[in-house]
């Protein structure tokens, strides 16, 4: 026990990291990525910008910048007619 306990302590963080990676993968809904990439270029830019900022900086910064850029995009196209809404597939 005295020998194995310090070694077991080093396994906790890699196991937690693997669990977090799997959780993030399933939360990102990879089966919907093709649909996301067929959206408007400004929407793709917003998605990729938020993704990169989430990884490179703090989550709070990524959300703040994403909301601000999303609002700017929405205000820029406020005179466009609304797109037809369809029921999402389940």
At 41-54, the pLDDT tens digits run 998 999 899 989 98
Single pTM value for the model: 0.64
pLDDT at 63: 93
**Which of 75, 57, 56 shows the shortest CA–CA distance to 67?**
75
The confidence band for 2, taking pLDDT boundaries of 50, 70 and 90, is confident
Convert the pLDDT of each residue in 16-28 to its tens digit. Answer: 888 888 888 888 7
pLDDT given for residue 46 in this prediction: 93
In a 3-state reduction of DSSP, which class is residue 53?
helix
Closest CA to 66 of 84, 78, 48, 81: 48
What pLDDT score was predicted for residue 67?
96
How far apart, in whole angstroms, are the C-alpha atoms of residue 68 and residue 41?
17
CB 70 within 8 A of CB 46: yes
- For range 60-67, the mean pLDDT: 94
């Amino acid at each position: 026990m005295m020998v194995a306990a310090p070694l077991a302590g080093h396994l906790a963080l890699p196991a937690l990291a693997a669990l977090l990676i799997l959780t993030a993968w399933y939360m990102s809904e990879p089966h919907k990525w093709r649909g996301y990439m067929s959206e408007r270029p400004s929407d793709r830019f917003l998605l990729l910008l938020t993704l990169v900022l989430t990884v490179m900086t703090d989550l709070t910064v990524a959300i703040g910048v994403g909301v601000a850029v999303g609002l700017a995009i929405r205000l820029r196209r406020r005179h466009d007619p609304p797109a037809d809404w369809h029921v999402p597939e389940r």
